[in-house]
Structures are given as C-alpha cells and as structure tokens.
Homo-oligomer: A and B are copies of this chain.
C-alpha cells in the first residue's frame, strides 16, 4: 500500500488544518497518510525514508519555510539518497496576501528537489503547491485535498515499476 508522510510545522493551527485536508486527499486515493507535526514530535527519518513519498508543509517565516522545517531538512541529510525518485509536494500558509506563501512553497520544493524527489506542478492555480491565507477556507482546503490526491497518484505511478 502506498504510504505518504505529511511533515509540517503548525503554529496557529492553520497549517494543521491544511495537513488534515492533504491527508484526506491521500486517503481518498486509497493510500495511507502519516501525519507528522514536527512541533509535536521528532520526525522518524528512518520510517519516512521507507515510505513512498513526502508532502512538506509550513507557515511562512520571513518569506520561506519555518526554522523548524529547515531543521527537519537539515537532519534529513541522515537519509540523503534514500528519498530520491519518490513523490513529493508542498503546502504553505501565510497571514497576508503577498506575505510569502508562494516563495515558501518554492523553498519547500527546492529542499525536496535536493533530495532528488519528484514534484508535479498543477496546471490550475495554485501552480506550485497548496497555499492559503490565514484560516484556510473551503477553496484552500479543496486545493490541499487535491494536492494529497495528486501526490498519492504520482507515488503510485513511480512505484509501479
């Protein structure tokens, strides 16, 4: 069974809400989602590296991923080379319009690419990952759901041979 880690840091609960919708999208695709809020518990890198994909989420911190997520990626060098070729995706929340959610999603995507992971854009906006302002509304949560579906489907394809 396809298994996707959803690794994120939430401070106000907004990123947590997004993660829950990403999870629903993954599950609705027949895959398993493992949610890891790094603010609550240390990520188990060995376990993550055995999964089929990873979706990373963050609030916007000075235009990019939070320091917690940054520390997660730094520690993930312990499993470098073991995530390559696996499916990935990203989501981000900012407090304000123009507050950096697009640049934050791109910072997550760059980190996932350094792991050699595989990322699919979206031909409909938001293009780079799921983004939301403040408390995510229904539209934002639907975009998160789609992200979960997309990465789960991609992971299935990548694992198929």
Contact = CB atoms under 8 A, between A and B. Distances in A.
A116 B110 CA distance: 17
Nearest to A87: B118
Contacts of A127: 63, 98-100, 110, 113-114, 116
Given A96-B124, A113-B119, 10 more contacts: A62-B74, A63-B110, A65-B70, A67-B74, A95-B125, A97-B126, A97-B133, A98-B127, A103-B103, A115-B121
A91 to B, nearest CB: 10
Q: What interface size band does chain A fall in?
A: 35 or more
Interface string A86-97: 000000001111
The residue among A76, A100, A121 with the most chain B CB atoms within 10 A of its own CB is: A121
